[in-house]
């Protein structure tokens, strides 16, 4: 039930069925829409990344933001928005910093007590949260356009 006492469950079920029908009967349009949304999420990822002031705004990290191909996951069209730079996950999630340790020169791989956790910036999660409400409104708008065109 909504805050005002209305039960929206039937509308939610209808919207879900309409989405499933569109996914199955209009795969080309569905893939195109999902790919566009993945690109929009990447724009949000870049904006949040820049707003955090992480490193230089040039280089591999900023160039590494990509949108993957549309694919079906559990029967629903999906697309990934990611950063393919090898160190992006370290800046996003955080990492253990181990000073003066060089395993290549025969130093032990044991912890010395000098290790320090460097927290991540979590720019991907922040962008996903900011993107979520806009995505739902985009889906509703797209379903409305599809409904007007007729199935």
In tens, the pLDDT along 34-84 reads 999 999 999 999 999 988 887 665 567 888 999 999 998 887 888 999 999
In a domain, 6, yes or no: no
Give the count of beta carbons closer than 10 Å to the beta carbon of residue 15: 14
SS3 141: helix
In a domain, 134, yes or no: yes
Determine what percent of the chain is predicted with pLDDT higher than 90. Answer: 32
Which residue range forms the structural domain that includes residue 51?
A: 17-83+121-147
Task: Evaluate if pTM is beyond 0.75.
Answer: no
In the chain, how many domains are there? 1
In a domain, 45, yes or no: yes
In a domain, 94, yes or no: no
In a domain, 69, yes or no: yes
pLDDT at 111: 63
Residues in the chain: 151
H/E stretch holding 140: helix 123-149
In a domain, 66, yes or no: yes
pLDDT at 21: 76
In a domain, 108, yes or no: no
């Amino acid at each position: 039930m909504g805050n005002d006492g209305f039960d929206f469950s039937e509308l939610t079920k209808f919207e879900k069925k309409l989405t499933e029908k569109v996914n199955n009967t209009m795969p080309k349009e569905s893939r195109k829409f999902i790919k566009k949304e993945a690109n929009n999420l990447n724009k949000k990822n870049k904006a949040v990344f820049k707003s955090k002031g992480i490193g230089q705004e040039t280089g591999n990290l900023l160039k590494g933001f990509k949108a993957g191909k549309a694919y079906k996951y559990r029967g629903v069209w999906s697309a990934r928005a990611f950063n393919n730079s090898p160190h992006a996950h370290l800046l996003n999630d955080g990492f253990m910093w181990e000073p003066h340790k060089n395993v290549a020169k025969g130093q032990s791989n044991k912890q010395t007590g000098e290790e320090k956790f460097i927290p991540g910036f979590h720019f991907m999660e922040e962008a996903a949260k900011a993107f979520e409400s806009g995505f739902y409104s985009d889906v509703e708008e797209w379903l409305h356009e599809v409904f007007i065109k007729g199935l």
